[in-house]
């Protein structure tokens, strides 16, 4: 790639690019932060609601012709008010998701390398250690980039800290979670439910996921809104144009 000057990633995550090699070759790498924050945060909340109220199970129940009238114990979910929303990775998207969760009356805790003063001020969020968050949170939402440090951050030991009535939401990267171990815990109901927008080996999904009735599976659509995808394309194009004109990129990695 002796002529390559810039790799403009159409997305905020850049684990699909060998950034170190690009740096050695003096190839500029850019991504598209900010423009997909709201869309991805919205989807994290959608997954949370879907799991909390058993939306997919209930819809399938109706479509299969099993609904024969109101029943007091039919698909009992859980309310969000006064529940603890735990954010792992309090960056742009994690912050936006936390603010949305707070609007439901949820209490916010977060795990992050840096203190998020904005979250503390706006929603009175508390910074906690990862183990503490996993033990306390009713809903856990992942918002970390995939790095060598975050690969299988939620391994078997960490996953076993999660409460049996808790819900895990992942709109970040599948490889952050040891998916095989998570599936085993979901099978045994040692974790109540999980909402996946990303998977460890996508697009090759673990077939055991299709056998579970306590998971909500989406095809990596976190940023899939007309607004976000349009702005991602524009930002990627503007980054390329800037570099080819000899200017600094707008959003360099």
Global confidence as pTM:
0.94
Tokens of 147: 């790095």
> CATH number for the domain including 147?
3.40.50.720
DSSP conformational letter for 228:
H
> Domain range holding 79?
37-217
Do the domain assignments include residue 1? Answer: no
Q: Examine the domain organization and report whether 237 and 188 are in the same domain.
A: no
Sequential pLDDT tens for the chain (253 residues): 789 999 999 999 999 999 999 999 999 999 999 999 999 999 999 999 999 999 999 999 999 999 999 999 999 999 999 999 999 999 999 999 999 999 999 999 999 999 999 999 999 999 999 999 999 999 999 999 999 999 999 999 999 999 999 999 999 999 999 999 999 999 999 999 999 999 999 999 999 999 999 999 999 999 999 999 999 999 999 999 999 999 999 999 9
Tell me the catalytic residues. Answer: 173, 202, 220
* 151 burial via Cβ count (<10 Å: 0-12, 13-18, 19+): middle
Strand arrangement, sheet containing 126-127: 126-127, 107-111, 84-88, 139-142, 167-170, 193-196, 215-217
Q: Examine the domain organization and report whether 54 and 145 are in the same domain.
A: yes
Q: Examine the domain organization and report whether 22 and 135 are in the same domain.
A: no
What's the structural domain count of the chain? 2
- Reported as type and span, the H/E element at residue 167 is strand 167-170
């Amino acid at each position: 790639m002796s002529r390559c000057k810039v790799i403009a990633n159409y997305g905020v995550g850049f684990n699909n690019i060998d950034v170190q090699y690009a740096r050695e070759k003096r190839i500029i790498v850019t991504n598209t932060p900010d423009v997909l924050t709201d869309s991805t945060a919205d989807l994290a909340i959608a997954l949370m609601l879907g799991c909390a109220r058993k939306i997919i199970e209930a819809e399938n129940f109706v479509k299969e012709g099993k609904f024969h009238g109101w029943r007091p114990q039919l698909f009992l979910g859980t309310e969000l008010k006064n529940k603890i929303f735990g954010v792992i990775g309090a960056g742009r998207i994690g912050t936006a998701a936390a603010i949305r969760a707070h609007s439901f009356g949820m209490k916010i805790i977060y795990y992050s390398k840096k203190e998020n003063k904005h979250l503390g001020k706006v929603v009175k969020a508390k910074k906690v250690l990862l183990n503490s968050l996993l033990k306390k949170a009713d809903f856990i939402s992942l918002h970390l980039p995939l790095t060598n440090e975050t690969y299988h951050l939620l391994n078997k030991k960490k996953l076993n800290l999660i409460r049996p009535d808790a819900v895990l939401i992942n709109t970040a990267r599948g490889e952050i979670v040891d998916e095989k171990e998570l599936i085993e815990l979901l099978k045994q109901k040692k974790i109540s439910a999980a909402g996946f927008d990303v998977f460890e080996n996508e697009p090759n999904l673990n077939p055991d996921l299709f056998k579970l009735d306590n998971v909500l599976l989406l095809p990596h659509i976190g940023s899939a809104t007309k607004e976000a995808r349009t702005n991602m394309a524009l930002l990627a194009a503007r980054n390329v144009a800037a570099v080819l004109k000899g200017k600094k990129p707008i959003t360099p990695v």
